Amino acid sequence: SSSSSACWMFFLVHLAKQPSLRGTLQDSSACEGLKGLAEEQVRICQRQAEAMDSVKHGAELAIEECQHQFHNRRWNCSTLQGLQVFGKAASVSSAGTRESAFIHAISSAGVAFAVTRACSRGELEKCGCDRKIRGVSAEGFQWSGCSDNLSYGIAFSQAFVDNPERSHGVSSSRALMNLHNNEAGRKVKLVPCAGEHTQMSEPLVGDQSLSHPPLFLSKLEWHPQTDYL
């Protein structure tokens, strides 16, 4: 589970550094070339290639927010060499720390937010604002109409972001811990603030709270699970 988490963090950083994925994933085999994806994530990519640009945007938001939150800390998510954005916090040896817990939460929130916003803008074929539309994805989640744009974004994040942990079973405490922190990230909402950044602190209630891009966290209030608590 710790190795799958490290691969997932590597994928996020690698994806964020890529140009737009639109048009590059037309061939289903292109998804197999994305390093760090679990087998089921590759299949989701192949079935919903249009959503991968949103995953990329979510990764960008997560990295930017991580660097903002920790800019005065010794560990500050700075890009040092190549793909080492999250540094040792995302490595196998350091998984289970508060920093790793934050990365799981913010990346999960970033993907959910980016997919929700793309859905609201009509950029994704499998969701949208037609209240007559109801659907069931190949991943098993359901949605309908504008009010469920948020539900779709959260469900996509659960299916895609949680997969590295679920693909190896959830019997280990580390997998359960990472899933807890993923879910914690999805249970926050955007609240407009007077300053540059937008606060996320309360449980998500309605997609109207997501109308204040970009995604930033002036204060992320959640109780991370780590190996040291």
pLDDT in tens, 123-142: 888 776 545 455 555 555 55
pLDDT at residue 40 greater than cutoff 50 = yes
Distance CA 220, CA 105 (A): 10
Identify the pLDDT of residue 142.
55
pLDDT at residue 118 greater than cutoff 80 = yes
Identify the pLDDT of residue 156.
93
pLDDT tens digit sequence for 198-218: 344 333 333 333 333 333 333
Does a structural domain hold residue 199?
no
Q: Give the DSSP letter of residue 204.
A: P
The pLDDT confidence band at residue 149, using thresholds 50, 70 and 90, is confident
Does a structural domain hold residue 31?
yes
Identify the pLDDT of residue 112.
92
Beta strand segments in the chain, E: 134-136, 142-144, 190-191, 199-200
Does a structural domain hold residue 116?
yes
208 SS3 class: helix
**Which tokens in the block code for residue 107?**
């990346």
Bridge partners of residue 200, in order along the sequence: 190
pLDDT at residue 147 greater than cutoff 50 = yes
Does a structural domain hold residue 195?
no
Identify the pLDDT of residue 31.
83
Does a structural domain hold residue 225?
no
Does a structural domain hold residue 65?
yes
The pLDDT confidence band at residue 34, using thresholds 50, 70 and 90, is confident
Predicted structure pTM score: 0.70
**Which tokens in the block code for residue 108?**
């999960």
CB 114 within 8 Å of CB 61: yes
Structurally, how many domains does the chain consist of? 1
Identify the pLDDT of residue 104.
84
Does a structural domain hold residue 197?
no
Of these ranges, 116-120, 125-129, 164-168, the one predicted with the greatest mean pLDDT is 116-120
Identify the pLDDT of residue 121.
85
Residue numbers of the domain that contains 145: 2-186
Identify the pLDDT of residue 25.
67
pLDDT at residue 194 greater than cutoff 50 = no
Identify the pLDDT of residue 157.
93
Does a structural domain hold residue 204?
no
Instruction: Specify the higher pLDDT residue, 36 or 224.
Output: 36
Mean pLDDT estimate for the chain: 68
pLDDT tens digit sequence for 49-108: 888 889 988 888 888 888 887 778 777 775 433 445 455 545 433 456 777 788 888 889
Identify the pLDDT of residue 163.
87
Q: What is the DSSP string of 155-201?
A: HHHHHHHSHHHHTT-S-SHHHHHHHHHHHHHHT--EE--SSSS-EE-
Name residues whose C-beta falls within 8 Å of residue 222's C-beta, 6 or more positions apart in sequence.
Answer: 105, 181, 184, 185, 187, 188
Instruction: Specify the higher pLDDT residue, 141 or 47.
Output: 47
